[in-house]
Structure 1
Amino acid sequence: MNREERERYFKDKGRRSPIYMECMGEFNSIHLPDEVKTFKLNNRVIMAGHSDIILNWLKEHIDWIDYYKVEYNRSHVKDEQSKTYLQTEVCNQTQTTPNNINIRQKQITQNNITIDKKTIIKENVFIKKDTEIAGECVIGPNVQIGESCIIGEGCILSGTNKDKKKAITLGNRVTIQENVIILSGVRIGNDVTIKMGSIVSSDIPDHLVVAGIPAKRVEKNVDPTIGDHL
């Protein structure tokens, strides 16, 4: 189903909050919803139609799905909460992708995310828009990454499955240079730069440049509109 076919379908049906979804998994014994338009080819299914029907079906059959993504039709979605949810691309992937990115279950990303090869993204990670993650990084469970962040090659954000209160949180416009390690429970503010090879074991307030083992303040970021200032 190409873009023109999708737009024509949405226009003809005139349904509230229509979406387009692609997913991959084992669908041999799974009933597809009759109320929306569906296309099935081997282990790939495409659906177009009312958001409530598609998302409810997705919720019921999530254990059989390896990967899915949704798109909304901008001209029809008026509810702001629905817009925010449907703009989000959700990866539910348990196997390594062709470009060697290993993304685990319930990893959620927004628009314009770049993740390089051999990077591992673990469970319940949330990555906001315009963020770049270089290769050979490990992003641990329950890590939250803000908008417009840059994470350099070989970084480890340890995260934790045991206590979500100890999850790592990055603010907006954070630049993390190569081979940095951030320990569980650390909260990093907005407009922070962490220099290469640092180990971060405690919280970092807004607008700082830090370096060392453990990482300590080097200077203040003078331009809060840019993450990397040195």
Structure 2
Amino acid sequence: MVDWVVELMDTLGAPGAGIAIALENLFPPLPSEVILPLSGFTASRGSMNLLDALIWTTLGSVVGALALYGVGALLGRERTLAIAAKLPLVKVSDIEKTEAWFLRHGKKAVFFGRMIPIFRSLISIPAGVERMPILQFTLLTLIGSAIWNTVFVMAGYLLGEQWHLVETYVGIGSKVVLGVVVLAVLIFIGVRLGERRKGRHAAGR
């Protein structure tokens, strides 16, 4: 993957880094903690301008986020509720609670979500489902992504040949976030199965 990103940037320069980041939003297995520091390292070698790297990677983040926003908007609230009603252990009320939470905290979620691994991509979908004003969504995404991208591009620029250290340390944080998500899912499943058992016992009396 690193070789592919290097080849893309060698061929297209800073726009290549932007394309890689746009794809990272759509395909999370392409981690930004690799692409961004590598972009900074490439800029430190003079293969691309540092400012161009920052601008293009941020533009790529916005384009990728808007694509996922479009997916959420096409899905819509009614389809989301219909899908939720067919999922095992999921209640429509779960989606409605999530919807209410997003309506209260959506701006913060979109802004800070740009700086949290895994959620960086996923947060765009509920924003589209809830039809957050697109200019607001774009601005929050732009600012949040600019902060995240600048930190990692500059880290790669300053670390030079040691740019891969960024991936090592951020990878630990990503695993922690993933672990928390998995734990939350397991707790949710456990609680919901417990509720089902109680319901069966009550019905059998």
Do the two structures share a fold, i.e. TM-score over 0.5?
A: no
- TM range, normalised to the smaller chain? under 0.3
Higher relative contact order at CA 8 Å, sep ≥6: structure 1 or structure 2?
2
Structure with greater proportional strand content: 1
TM, length-normalised to structure 1: 0.23
Structure with greater proportional helix content: 2
TM, length-normalised to structure 2: 0.25
